[in-house]
């Protein structure tokens, strides 16, 4: 296992987690993911295994829609999406690989999840 660290663009939202070497990414075609365009990890992180450090108590914004079973977070300063809690595995996190330090998403093999059809 390797420790990965990441942040939003301005650094107000930081996070870290342990994970096997990341070699694959995931995109999704649902209404929010297609707009966001992020390459996400194809793994989920249990609630207690994601360490989140916020500059301020209100650094993390929450956006929900539909039945609100998924929780989409964003930095309230720079607007970047660092991670969300999935609806498929409630409370589990999926991260934006583009936010990881010293990590390139170019060259990853990227699966596309058909979230649109759910």
- Give me the residues that bind Zn ion (CB under 5 A), please: 8, 10, 12, 75, 77-78
Q: Which of 12, 26 has the CB closer to Zn ion?
A: 12
Q: Which of 42, 76 has the CB closer to Zn ion?
A: 76
Q: Which of 32, 78 has the CB closer to Zn ion?
A: 78
DSSP H or E run through 33? helix 31-36
Residue 96 CB, shortest distance to Zn ion, in Å, is 12
Query: What are the two backbone dihedrals, phi and then psi, of residue 60, each rounded to the nearest 5 degrees?
Result: -105, 115
Taking 3-state DSSP, the helix, strand and coil percentages for the chain, each rounded to the nearest 5, stand at 15, 40, 45
């Amino acid at each position: 296992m390797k420790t990965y660290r990441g942040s939003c663009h301005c650094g107000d939202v930081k996070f870290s987690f342990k994970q096997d070497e990341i070699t694959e990414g995931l995109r999704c075609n649902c209404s929010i993911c297609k707009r966001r365009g992020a390459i996400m990890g194809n793994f989920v992180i249990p609630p207690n295994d994601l360490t989140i450090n916020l500059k301020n108590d209100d650094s993390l914004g929450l956006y929900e829609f539909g039945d609100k079973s998924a929780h989409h977070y964003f930095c309230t300063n720079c607007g970047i999406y660092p991670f969300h809690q999935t609806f498929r595995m409630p409370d589990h996190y999926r991260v934006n690989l583009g936010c990881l330090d010293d990590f390139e998403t170019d060259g990853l093999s990227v699966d596309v999840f058909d979230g649109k059809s759910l």
